[in-house]
Amino acid sequence: MDDDGYGELKLDLLGSWRLRRDGVVVHVATRQQRLIAALAIKGPRLRSYLVGLLWPEYPDSKALESLRVSVHLTSRQVPGLIVNEGRLLSLSDQVEVDLDRIREHARVLGHAGIGAGAASLLGELKDAQLLPGWYEDWVVFEQSRLQQDRLRIFTDIAARSLSLGDCGTAGAAAEEAVGIEPLYENAVRLLIRAELQRGNPAAALRAYERYRQQLQEDMGLLPAEPVRELLATILERQQRAVKERLVPAGDSWLGGQPALNNF
């Protein structure tokens, strides 16, 4: 990366906020962190947009002053990070942001299809939580959006991997999708199919039972027919086993008569 004389800048938003220049952590105050994070996530924005986003409770004059001070301090502490074009602010395109990297991988995956990059993307997304511990409304919205993106990508990886016979990747991706949304039927079906194709019916049955119980508890519903059909043979076998463990009232050794309590 061409550093324009400012060094190599890397910004992490996943897991925790961290800014590094040439591998050394740069410490900035919380107010500056919020501004940098907003520009990294939202992209280039007008000052009027940023003051409403970051200081919604302030009068306009005070919010504009807070923004001016934040831009000044950030530019002094981390030269080359913010591009100031008057009314428009942005991060330098030389800053490497981990969230951008994941978004780009997801875009490539969507256009190029499954491949060697799927396992790498799966690993990156596994614990990708955006700014945990930040509770501002705009951050919570972006956290939710990332969760939905992760759910979509995990499900996509699972479906494509399954079609290529890669049951291990399919199962891992489907498991992550179910972890995000336990009642997402498509993800549950993919997980069950992956376990069955791996020759692990017990794991498939456990996934089904978890889904069935939570669906019943949360919504009072039973699994849809397409889900039950995946395990029809196993469920029938399970039901027969339960019936066979019950001693019938008129068993042959009692001469066809019901058992009586002679006490």
Q: Where are the domains of the chain?
A: 9-94, 113-245
Give the pLDDT confidence score for residue 38 in this predicted structure: 98
Beta strand pairing call for 45-46 and 96-97: unpaired
* Start-to-end CA span in the chain (Å): 89
Is residue 133 packed enough to be buried (19+ CB in 10 Å), middle (13-18) or exposed (0-12)? exposed
Distance between CA 240 and CA 258 in Å, rounded? 22
Q: Interior CA angle at 134 toward 130 and 139, to 5°?
A: 65
Cβ neighbours of 66 (radius 10 Å): 17
CB within 8 Å of 177: residues ≥ 6 apart: 151, 154, 155, 158, 184, 187, 190, 191
**Residue 97's pLDDT band (boundaries 50, 70, 90)?**
very high
**Residue 258's pLDDT band (boundaries 50, 70, 90)?**
very low
CB within 8 Å of 73: residues ≥ 6 apart: 28, 29, 31, 32
Give the pLDDT confidence score for residue 232 in this predicted structure: 87
The DSSP element (H or E) to which 91 belongs, if any, is strand 88-91
Give the pLDDT confidence score for residue 110 in this predicted structure: 62
**Residue 115's pLDDT band (boundaries 50, 70, 90)?**
low
pLDDT tens digits along 193-212: 999 999 999 999 999 999 99
**Residue 263's pLDDT band (boundaries 50, 70, 90)?**
very low
CATH class of the domain comprising 9-94: mainly alpha
Give the pLDDT confidence score for residue 132 in this predicted structure: 95
DSSP state of 248: P
pLDDT exceeds 90 at position 88: yes
Give the pLDDT confidence score for residue 259 in this predicted structure: 44
CATH of domain 113-245: 1.25.40.10
When pLDDT is averaged across residues 99-106 and rounded to a whole number, the result is 85
pLDDT tens digits along 25-81: 999 999 999 999 999 999 999 999 999 999 999 999 999 999 999 999 999 999 999
Contact in structure between 15 and 58 (CB atoms under 8 Å):
no
Cβ neighbours of 200 (radius 10 Å): 15
Share in percent of the chain as helix, strand, coil (round to 5): 60, 10, 30
